[in-house]
Structure 1
């Protein structure tokens, strides 16, 4: 019996390796498919809301698709224009940043601190500070050139959503419990994407408004980047903050930059650690260890876009496992239940 179980585990492991290898080979297509599914999950909530208001399904469907296309085009236009202007001005910002470092070195030398100015300037590649984020956004921009395929995918998935529900009822006609499991899975997925999208938009909006108040250049661009990088836990908020903080340092002043850092930290902690968990509930939490390895795995399999999709994909798998009694133990292993235990203790 034990030998049979071991063979089963090796079979499942080998299957998993083959699936991951296949996903990596077909990453370009898989990313488009995943994004189409996830975006459909978000906009299907709006579609149902419009239908509940007794708006005909065809009109509701067209409205939802138009809203999705308009939002995407608007974001693309803003990011493209702002990024183009920012890249053109990078040499100027680089000179200002170098001047700031030289002045700091001079200040240190006036207090008797020996510093090798040439070594520090050679070691600090200032273009890389700005270039890191712009390279990532550039990669996303290249991917968004396949935007039409995503729109078509979303359109077909939303069009099929109603008939898909009927198909499920036919499939699970004699298995009510399995249908309930699937409905619970679908509800939790939609809840996760709706909450995550809302909190990400809120993060980006607040940061854009804050940057306008602080007088930092390109506030809308950094707000959009903050919104996108909110889908990448832990490191996402740090990467999104780097360009804005450096711009504040070279174009405003040190006091404003310190205040801006505090502002970024406060907003990210408040939304990610307080508002988001309350809206999602503890059942939709993930272990930090699982989040870390999911970023590495999906980043390797699907590229940079995979890092943005890492948590949504992992959360989808966790919800799928928790919807079935035979796989609930896997969902528990993936969960972040430390807070619950501490409260009980």
Structure 2
């Protein structure tokens, strides 16, 4: 007589409870977890450099030092640019307070001429604050700067991971021949994350350069700042384009008028929406392997856990969770198909058994 199995509903509830405990625990240590994940993603991104030196039998210290120096230079450059951008952004909004009041007055008069209730207009005006739009960009930049402010911790983490990278790579390579599910899942995670980062960075730089040129020609102040914001927001799925668009569009409205604001919106739509909707998916291919719904939910969850940095790292974090919880377990293949909206081919044995039945 078979022992009674644990009810599936109980397994699901315990799993959800465990996930909530882990997420809230990560949220409490986000000041450490955020830099740790960022360091892991950066080391994965530069691993081809180490592999290139290893293939040419370069000394071990070269395989460690060159990727480490590349990452440190990138961190220092980003920290400098973001710090300058945050300072400029903090002094930007007060300069346009009078212009904003003038636009509100003109808009209110126009709405009243159309027969809109004055009381309703006052409530709408009181609930709208342009500082919130600028604050979105400021919060995003501030969250990233908060990570870079712990630069010593980042450098130590990067150095430790770069030192461990050659040994970790050899361990993973030796495990692939034995078809260990977890090893294979981690290998796929690293490859998908690296491809996602490379492709997103290339297209993010292209979009940022085009945005800076367009903003400069339109005459929007601080075009370089908005280009940096566009590059960072390119890593945020689903809503990154909106986050990058709102601050410069609002600034164009306050600085010059509706025509310039519409020109900014049109330029961003042409450069970003077309690229991210039609070109980028063809280059990424199966690198992400997450459905649109799962991507959006991961954005919400990881932003809640790690703040603005979680929004930027939402895709790599979701890929890591997928590798550990789903890809490493052959019995969970159905879940992988569910979150990626792809059908899973049945195992060969199962096919033969059905055909022979």
The question of a shared fold, defined as TM-score above 0.5 by the shorter chain, is answered with yes
From the superposition, tell whether residues 27 and 2 of structure 1 become closer, same or farther in structure 2 (CA, over 3 Å). farther
- Deviates further, 46-55 or 93-102: 46-55
Deviation of 1:92 (Å) = 1.8
Give the 5 Å matches for 1:217-296: 217-282=221-286, 284-296=288-300
Q: Distance in 1 between matches of 2:114 and 2:14?
A: 67
- Determine helix, strand or coil for the equivalent of 1:326: helix
Q: Distance in 2 between matches of 1:126 and 1:181?
A: 45
- Determine helix, strand or coil for the equivalent of 2:221: coil
Deviation of 1:93 (Å) = 1.3
From the superposition, tell whether residues 126 and 270 of structure 1 become closer, same or farther in structure 2 (CA, over 3 Å). closer
Partner of 1:343: none
From the superposition, tell whether residues 182 and 109 of structure 1 become closer, same or farther in structure 2 (CA, over 3 Å). closer
Partner of 1:43: 46
Query: TM-score, with normalisation over the residues of structure 1?
Result: 0.84
From the superposition, tell whether residues 290 and 174 of structure 1 become closer, same or farther in structure 2 (CA, over 3 Å). closer
Question: Larger % of helix: which?
Answer: 1
Deviation of 1:168 (Å) = 3.3
Alignment partner of 1:32 out of 20, 30, 35: 35
Q: Distance in 1 between matches of 2:287 and 2:147?
A: 33
Query: TM-score, with normalisation over the residues of structure 2?
Result: 0.82
Q: How many residues align?
A: 337
Whether the aligned pair in 1 keeps the contact of 2:193 and 2:287 (CA below 8 Å) is no
Q: Which runs of 5+ in 2 are unaligned?
A: 344-357
Deviation of 1:322 (Å) = 3.9
Q: Deviations over 1:102-121 (max 9, x none)?
A: 22334455667664675554
Q: Distance in 2 between matches of 1:259 and 1:53?
A: 51
Q: Distance in 2 between matches of 1:225 and 1:180?
A: 35
Partner of 2:198: 194
Q: Distance in 1 between matches of 2:142 and 2:190?
A: 33
What RMSD in Å do the two structures reach over aligned CA positions? 3.0
Q: Distance in 1 between matches of 2:266 and 2:53?
A: 40
Q: Which runs of 5+ in 1 are unaligned?
A: 339-345
Partner of 2:98: 95
Q: Distance in 2 between matches of 1:52 and 1:212?
A: 45
Deviation of 1:54 (Å) = 6.5
